[in-house]
Amino acid sequence: MSRRRRIYEGKAKILFEGPEPGTLVQYFKDDATAFNNQKKGTITGKGVLNNRISEYLMVKLGEIGVPTHFVRRLNMREQLIREVEIIPIEVVIRNVVAGSLSQRFGMAEGTVLPRSIVEYYYKSDELGDPMVSEEHITAFGWASPQDLDDMLSLSLRTNDFLTGLFLGVGLRLVDFKIEFGRLYENEEMRIVLADEISPDSCRLWDVKTNEKLDKDRFRRDLGGVAEAYQEVARRLGILPEGGPRDLKGPSTMQ
């Protein structure tokens, strides 16, 4: 097999050149980071599970008309995606108080918000992903007012859909982070959902017990991290064929 060109290596994924122009291969690693890279570790099998979970959620979102970068899964750790021009903004949608929202305002984690809150963060590891307003985003040219409008409406549709989907399997979607990109097709540009949606980027609590089934188990040293990711996949009905034993997956990284 020929060596593929590595386009970018991030904290949780690697992007390789895809088989056709305009495509990329997204490889999911087991590496985990938190607090802007200050805490590092690995979660065995995370890459395999996030590849599956993100595939599942993006396909479902595609079915309700939310455009995404996802094309198809290639193997245990890789998926084919459309290459987009990433908008350097992380959109965070919150339904329940947790994490930094609880810290900044001294509000108890678990307080249900009267309406969903949308926040924007500028993607910059050097600056620690500072929170920004729509004014910063348009003034600095990171996204146009039209881009922002599309991002907001896609974010809210994604939130409504995923909230219901997760509730159906006994999980509360507390908050999540998504990224968008510009996809150019026949002289036209549209905003599509990119990156991943997984327990790395969502807070998911068991509806009955409030048990955390997401990356907070890693951030807060709660233990049972890999098991939590497995439980999310199991509830969605998408554990890899071989069950948890199959989670390491082949290390076909070249």
Ligand X SMILES: Nc1ncnc2c1ncn2[C@@H]1O[C@H](COP(=O)(O)OP(=O)(O)O)[C@@H](O)[C@H]1O
Based on the shown chain and the rule CB under 6 A, indicate whether residue 78 belongs to the binding site for ligand X.
no
Q: How far apart are the first and last CA of the chain?
A: 9
Give CA–CA dist 224/217, Å, rounded.
7
Interaction of residue 147 with ligand X, rule CB under 6 A: no
State which of residues 74, 80, 86, 165 lies at the interface with ligand X (CB under 6 A). 86
Q: Pick from 62, 160, 167, 165: which is nearest to 118 by CA?
A: 160
Q: Which of 137, 194, 213, 239 binds ligand X (CB under 6 A)?
A: 194
Distance (Å, whole) CA 93 – CA 102: 14
Q: What is the nearest approach in angstroms of ligand X to the Cβ of residue 241?
A: 26
Applying CB under 6 A, which part among 50-58, 79-87, 209-217, 225-233 lies near ligand X?
79-87
Choose which of 12, 101, 148, 154 interacts with ligand X (CB under 6 A). Answer: 12
**Exposed/middle/buried for residue 174 (C-beta within 10 Å: 0-12, 13-18, 19+):** buried
Does residue 83 interact with ligand X by CB under 6 A?
Answer: yes
Sketch the per residue contact string, 148 through 187, with ligand X: x for CB under 6 A, - otherwise: -------------------------------x-x------
**Burial classification of residue 145, based on how many CB atoms lie within 10 Å of its CB (0-12 exposed, 13-18 middle, 19 or more buried):** exposed
Closest CB to ligand X among residues 82, 212: 82
- Backbone conformation region of residue 195, classed left if phi is above 0, alpha if psi is from -120 to 50, else beta: left
Interface contacts to ligand X, rule CB under 6 A: 8, 10-13, 15, 24, 69, 81-84, 86, 179, 181, 194-195
